[in-house]
Structure 1
Amino acid sequence: MNARLLLLPLAALSLGAADLPKPGEPALTPQTAASGGPVDPEQAKLAFDDADLVFEIFPERQAITGVATLRFTAKAPLARLVVDLDRNLPVGGIVLNGEPLSKSAWSNPEGKLAIALPRPARTGDTIVARITYGGTPHVAVEAPWDDGFVWAKTPDGRPWVATTAEGYGCDLFWPCLDFPTGKPGAVTLHITVPKGLKAPGNGRLLGVDTLADGRTTWNWRIKRPNTYGIALTVGPYEEISGSYRSRYGNTVPMFYWYLAGEEAQAKALFAEFAPTLDFFESEIGPYPFGDEKLGVVETPHKGMEHQTINAYGNGYAKAPEGFDWLFQHELSHEWFGNQMTAANWDDMWLHEGYATYMQPLYGRWRDGEARYAVMLEGERNLIGNVRPLTSGIERTEEDVYRLDRGGPGQDIYYKASWMLHTLRWLIGDRDFKAVTLLAVYGRLDPKPGNFTPRYASSAEYEAIVKRVTGKDYGWFFDVYLRKAALPELIERRAGNILALEWAVPGGGAFAMPVDVRVGTRTVRLAMADGSGSVAIPTGAHVTIDPYARVLRRSAAVEAFQAWQAAQRKAAK
């Protein structure tokens, strides 16, 4: 028997198969259901050095057991170690710096596990906690739009298990620091699964141990993973592998794990891996995790950007643009989300806006300007403008993602994508590329081995734009990031003069230039003070912003969206 299994709590091992939890059960506390927001003062004193996570998955009982060995460095004196862990996974024992603790030394009433240190830690001290736990984890209702475990069956009736944790956080199944800047320096995973199943995981495969009864333990190691990027995925998988020779001279291993009977579709999807990587390396820069892998695994939910093991559940759907949008979108998060991570969920647009913009850019890279325009037009019709993209405060992921919680909702995808489209035109391709390099890698000359994952913010991004261009674009970000309504271009005709003026929410200057096509001639109005004019010869046809460069209010789009809403309401 694997010696690690001896550490598992007996209570968890005795769970029965009756009364399996329904979706949404067991219930979560508000503490566990929130990820991010203001950082706990005691947790802010911790540097998370690394974690060794031992799991065993029991699909028939929908239960797990775990042993988490966490190593921290104290950044300030502290008397307690506080980590996040769902209370539905009760702790069976804790060993701190080699010393077993009595049960009175810890408590976890709401999902924040507080451990009293036998001796106060001083600045620079190392704290190693081995936490044994297990039980029935929360079951997702509709992953990945909510989080938890997905206990499914393959078409031939075998277990198929997956996790998602972006909204509710890593504490759904392992003790962690559940906020974006709580990344550990490294995580080693040991995932034991029933005979005949596989457990594709994050990072690099260290090896697979086969136990006497046929169970297998899959051992993985990943460097600097995103807090929600650790995933458990279990199933009777087939595997396709290959390699990509990077533009930067290194070779990236590529893997796809899929269900039996799908070989033709799986090979077709795998054929997209290398060309998509080539696009990202051409347009952005080197694949951030080339020394580990590009990994994708088929899941019983739609998808999620689990670092180096992206979840894919798009059913091999076909689209007119000729590539799988879900695979491409989740892969883009390796740059925008995993390599560059927003330090505050309030800046989630940095992840989703860039990842969404990469799709029309990829369409252009593959097929040209017409594809780019068509894909952007589809995004434009989905922009809601209900709330600003950012609030300027620390927020949880759900507070950003959900309109009913006061967040911008889907605008972090589509409005942010269009904002980037407009910014690219405004500052030019060269400067936009430089801005993106600095935001993603922190340097203009990224090469494999000379960068590591970093944190980013809206304020930093705005400062990068100013640094690269030498100009202050505060007026641009004030409107697109910090206001809900879009700028409106007011048109007035007086004789043969067309006058244009920007009206922006809250007033103020908006120096966005505008192209105007007059007959066959295109004139660019600088609009430096928010206004401009152009002479229109008698009978000349006029088109404002003929190439749709600028994100602005559209009465036609608003009418279309209102009509759609009425149709949906009538259909209920």
Structure 2
Amino acid sequence: MSKYLIVLLFLFFSFTALQAQSWDWGGPMDPLQSKFNIIQYRLDLEIIPENQSIQGSNTIVFEAKERLDTLRLQLIDEYAVEKVLMDGKEVKFFHANDILDIIPIDCTCDEVQVFYGGQTPIAENPPWTGGFTWEKDQLENHWMGLSSQGEGAKIFMPALDHPSSEPSQGVELTFTVPYPYFVASNGRLLDRKIDKGKVSYHWASDYPINNYNINFTLGIFHEEKKTFESVSGDRIPMSVYVLQENRAKASTLLAVLEESAKTHEKYFGAFPFPEDKIAVVETPYLGMEHQTINAYGNNFQFVTLGKTAYDWLLHHELGHEWFGNKISVGDWADMWIHEGLTAYGDWLFYWEHGGEEVYFEKVKSELRNIPHAKPVLSPPNSTEKEAYHPEIYTKGAMVIHSLRGILGEEVFFPMLKAFVADERFTYQSRVNTQDFTDFVKSYTGKDLDAFFDLYLKTTKLPEVVIKKKGKKGWEVRLEGIEFNMPVDVKTEAGIQRIELGEKGILVKSIEKPVVDPKGWLMLSKK
């Protein structure tokens, strides 16, 4: 066998092994799972660092419109299910192909407890290819992080694993670990108990929460904390948890977190989870937006904008508390609402603390790197992997930036806050792209459907065409669109806003006009 063939076979089997460990979620809802809703998860796990395993149970509280013949959950096959209880009695179950089918007993039971355990799946490239990340800090203490945006909750607990499903009454989370380890998790810490060399932490949140936002991080941490004064008037606990080796950086990180929270509140409204906390925990991977306990692994790489310290990773993940956590999509096809609006929040930090010139430099830098290769909006019933690509961040943010340019400051910013505050789209409600575009139309009185269709559903860009007409005239038009857009045109007389489309508009100017001089729109300029 040639060396070339050996290499090919190695790559083939390596890729096959990788694919076997590649979980996805979303897509069409399983018909069996459409028959019930999740009320609450009560997760009770022992985390065992020495063999990188978990052991315990998850109690799933649910409601069903009819009697269920099968209660279908997801749990990866890597875990062994020991038993399943309903009404205190063991019931039959079948666990294969990452599906856990439970056969309910003849009762009016509204909860089921699943006992399971095993070695955890290891993250190959967290957070993009998620799982558990087990490392040790500089003091040789265990340090574990969990990331599951691309995989869903089934990699750590049995769940109805679909983006449209959130427990309406939140979660209770109990973690038992070797003393003196700490586990940072969602919500508020209600209790801590030490017994026989182990310590248990009881966390809880009453807010609805997306499956991948349920999270826990293990380590020996230093906590720095304060009270955050929200624009709502709420006094919210704010904490950062960092490794002992980084405790000298904790106060700066806390100050950066506070400034980011203030900036987000200015543009998006009050922090969405005032009964819980605002917090980040240092993780052995880059980061992720876990509700009220964001993962932070950016190594304290602060930069200065104006007079303000800024951490792009921290600010971005915190922005997801508004877009992704408070406002959540039910179909990954609309994931750009999570990522695009949050990424635009990153740009607003430049506006707020760097000023107008710095903001537009940021916009132009991002625009240059958009390939316009895939539509921002994916087909209905997309899985996470089908919908996730870089343009949901950059082009998604650019769509919001362009919307600001079209509407103007006095309309755009109040509209954005009104969308975030609208009960039709928040917490337990799921949102989609049509909800957002309809809201913009209703709030502003402007029909921007053609604008959204162009930039969200296609990869096309209008082409700016400028032709000389006489001594002091220029014909300006946009080629490739069937509607008119308000566009700034700069001449020696200043900037004027003109409705441009396929039909040419005569602009008087000695010099060649500059179309969209600031860069509000995505246009092809040849």
TM category (shorter chain) comes to over 0.9
2:486 is aligned to 513
Tell me the secondary structure at the aligned position of residue 252 of structure 1.
strand
Superposed counterparts of 1:115-514, under 5 Å:
115-119=102-106, 126-185=109-168, 186-213=170-197, 215-222=198-205, 223-321=207-305, 322-401=309-388, 409-442=389-422, 452-495=427-470, 496-504=472-480, 508-514=481-487
Return the alpha-carbon distance in structure 1 between the equivalents of residues 42 and 19 of structure 2. 25
Superposed counterparts of 1:33-44, under 5 Å: 33-44=23-34
Query: In percent, how many aligned pairs have the same letter?
Result: 31
Per residue, is there more strand in 1 or in 2?
2
Change (3 A) 1:255 1:247: same
8 A contact 1:90–1:135 mirrored in 2: yes
**1-side partners of 2:504 and 2:76: how far apart?**
56
Task: Tell whether the 8 Å contact from 2:488 to 2:495 is kept in structure 1 after alignment.
Answer: yes
Q: Distance in 1 between matches of 2:46 and 2:224?
A: 25
Hey, what's the Cα distance between the residues in 2 that align with 1:525 and 1:399?
Answer: 38
The answer on 1:524 being equivalent to 2:497 is: yes
Q: Which of residues 111, 114, 118 is equivalent to 2:98?
A: 111
Is this contact kept in 1: 2:477–2:501, CA < 8 A? no
Taking structure 1 as reference, are residues 523 and 308 closer, same or farther at Cα in structure 2, changes over 3 Å only? same
Q: Alignment partner of 1:182: what SS?
A: coil
Amino acid corresponding to residue 186 of structure 2 in structure 1: N
Q: Deviations over 1:317-368 (max 9, x none)?
A: 1335340000000000000000000111010100110111111211111121
**Offset, 1:531:** 4.1
Report the alpha carbon displacement of residue 439 of structure 1 after superposing the two structures with TM: 3.3
Letter in 2 for 1:384: P
Distance in 1, Cα, partners of 2:320 & 2:253: 18
Between the aligned partners of 1:182 and 1:417, the Cα distance in structure 2 is 26
Q: Deviations over 1:355-405 (max 9, x none)?
A: 11111211111121012112212211221211111133111111111xxxx
Q: CA deviation at 1:75?
A: 2.5
Q: How far off is 1:126 after superposition? A: 4.6
Q: CA deviation at 1:106?
A: 1.1
Q: Give the distance between the partners of 1:25 and 1:156, measured in 2 at CA.
A: 37
Q: Give the Cα–Cα distance (whole angstroms) in 2 for the partners of residues 78 and 67 of structure 1.
A: 22
Cα gap change, 1:287 to 1:191, in 2 (>3 Å): same
Q: Any conservation in 2 of the 1:36–1:344 contact (CA below 8 Å)? A: yes
Q: Secondary structure at the match of 1:272?
A: helix
Kept in 2, the 8 Å contact 1:63–1:137? The answer is yes
Corresponding residue for residue 11 of structure 2: none
Report the residue type matching 2:271 in the other structure: Y
Determine if contact 1:29/1:111 at 8 Å carries over to the other structure. Answer: no
What is the identity, as a one-letter code, of the residue corresponding to 2:519?
A
How much does 1:71 deviate? 0.7
User: 2: CA distance between counterparts of 1:316 and 1:307?
Assistant: 21
Offset, 1:245:
1.0
1:66 offset after TM fit, Å?
A: 2.2
Residues 84 and 115, structure 2, Cα contact 8 Å, conserved in 1: yes
**Aligned twin of 2:6:** none
Q: Using a 3 Å threshold, how does the CA distance of structure 1 residues 517 and 230 change in structure 2: closer, same or farther?
A: same
Match of 2:60 among 66, 70, 75: 70
- Partners in 1 of 2:101 and 2:398 — Cα distance? 44
Contact 1:475 1:511 in 2 (8 A): no
Answering whether residue 85 of structure 2 is matched by residue 95 of structure 1, we say: yes
CA offsets per residue over residues 434-458 of structure 1, 9 Å max, x none?
44234323159x9xxxx74532110
Where structure 2 has 5 or more consecutive residues not aligned to the other structure, the ranges are 1-13
* Distance change in 2, residues 1:25/1:247 (3 Å): farther
Name 2:35's counterpart in structure 1: 45
In the alignment, residue 520 of structure 2 is paired with which amino acid?
Answer: R
Q: Distance in 2 between matches of 1:349 and 1:27?
A: 27
Query: How far does residue 284 in structure 1 lie from its aligned partner after superposition?
Result: 1.0
RMSD, matched Cα? 2.1
1:29 deviation in Å?
A: 5.3
In 2, are the aligned partners of 1:519 and 1:541 still within 8 Å (CA)?
no
Over 3 Å counting, the alpha-carbon distance change for 1:26 and 1:67 in structure 2 is farther
Rate the CA distance shift 1:298–1:74 in 2: closer, same or farther, 3 A.
same
Counterpart AA for 1:535: K
In structure 1, what is the equivalent of residue 4 of structure 2?
none
Change in CA separation of 1:241 and 1:24 when aligned onto 2, cut-off 3 Å:
farther
Per the TM alignment, residue 87 of structure 1 is displaced from its structure 2 partner at its CA by 1.0
* Displacement of 1:473: 1.0
- In 2 relative to 1, CA 309–382 (structure 1 residues): closer, same or farther, beyond 3 Å? same
What is the alpha-carbon distance in structure 2 between the residues aligned to residue 78 and residue 33 of structure 1? 27
Displacement of 1:529 in angstroms is 6.3
Unaligned 5+ runs, structure 1 = 1-22, 402-408, 556-572
CA distance in 2, matches of 1:329, 1:424: 20
The 3-state SS of whatever aligns with 1:300 is coil
Moved over 6 A (4+): 23-28
Output the amino acid matched with 1:112.
Answer: I
SS at match of 2:366: helix
Alignment coverage as a number of residue pairs = 507
Q: Which of 518, 523, 526 matches 1:547?
A: 518
Hey, what's the Cα distance between the residues in 2 that align with 1:126 and 1:438? Answer: 40
2-structure distance, mates of 1:218, 1:26: 36
Q: Distance in 2 between matches of 1:109 and 1:267?
A: 48
Scaled by the length of structure 1, the TM-score of the pair is 0.85
Once residues 385 and 300 of structure 1 are traced to their aligned partners in structure 2, the CA distance between those partners, rounded to angstroms, is 33
Aligned-residue offset at 1:26: 9.0
